[in-house]
Amino acid sequence: MTHTAELKNGLDQLALGLNEQQLALLDGYLTLLAKWNHTYNLTAVREEQRMVSYHLLDSLSLVPHLNGGSRLLDVGSGGGMPGIPAAIARPDLQVVLLDSNHKKTTFLRQAVIELGLPNVEVVTSRVEAYQPEQKFDRITSRAFAELAEFVRLTPHLLAEGGQYLAMKGVYPYEEISLLPETVAVAEVLPVSVPGLDAERHLVRMVAK
């Protein structure tokens, strides 16, 4: 199966009704990620075929949980996951990709230009130093930090009534037990990622 066919199949399983243009953008992003990865070491996954499930479909599993939001912050975005796939799937969403690594944000800026994503902004900054003009109603991270550190560094970025959406592997019992009292776990959802034989969970948290 080609990676485009695998992507289409995965999108069907995730029930994401993306059009051909969005599919082409996801395909283009995958190509850029694989190309730049040789020089910039953006991901440990080297093969494009494996990137489909490990990166694209895993990132896209977040999309159904973004309803009700208009501004998404991807903290520690790295190679652009989950922010870029989410921005492609939800062009109505304003997405900021935040990372302190200059090499990674250089790639992200190039990807945004080449893919033509007007709803994406790239920011090079440490999360605690980032002071946007407008706060975010959804803040996500995929491989940034443990939950307690994630929420400790970001309270100044969360809009009133906003949500944290942390993407995790196995059920993070210990990380949840270490959360500060300022944050409540609204739910922990098991997530099924097509083609990925590993546990995935989405932790939705709100400020008390």
Q: Give the CATH number, domain containing residue 84.
A: 3.40.50.150
Sequence-ordered list of residues with C-beta below 8 angstroms from that of 177, at least 6 positions apart, any chain: none
- Residue 48 phi, psi dihedral angles, 5° rounding: -55, -40
The answer as to whether 81 is a domain residue is yes
- In the annotated binding site for S-adenosyl-L-methionine, the residues are 76, 81, 127-128, 142
The answer as to whether 183 is a domain residue is no
Tens of pLDDT, residue by residue over 118-144, are: 999 999 999 999 999 999 999 999 988
The answer as to whether 139 is a domain residue is yes
Tell me which long-range contacts 33-37 makes (C-beta under 8 A, separation of at least 24). 33/79, 33/80, 33/111, 36/107, 36/110, 36/111, 37/79
Domain that holds residue 64: 3-162
The answer as to whether 176 is a domain residue is no
The answer as to whether 14 is a domain residue is yes
Sequence-ordered list of residues with C-beta below 8 angstroms from that of 208, at least 6 positions apart, any chain: 181, 182, 183, 184
Helices vs strands, H then E, count in the chain: 8, 7
| Average pLDDT value over all residues in the chain | 92
pLDDT band at 17 (very low <50, low <70, confident <90, very high): confident
pLDDT at res. 129: 97
Tens of pLDDT, residue by residue over 176-205, are: 999 999 999 999 999 999 999 999 999 999
Counting the structural domains of the chain, the total is 1
The answer as to whether 193 is a domain residue is no
pLDDT at 36 over 60: yes
pLDDT at res. 206: 97
pLDDT at res. 131: 97
- In the annotated binding site, the residues are 76, 81, 127-128, 142
Tens of pLDDT, residue by residue over 85-103, are: 999 999 999 999 999 999 9
The more confident residue out of 43 and 148 is 148
Q: How many CB atoms lie within 10 A of CB 105?
A: 20
The answer as to whether 130 is a domain residue is yes
| Percent of the chain whose predicted confidence (pLDDT) is above 70 | 94
DSSP letter assigned to residue 186 = E
The answer as to whether 70 is a domain residue is yes
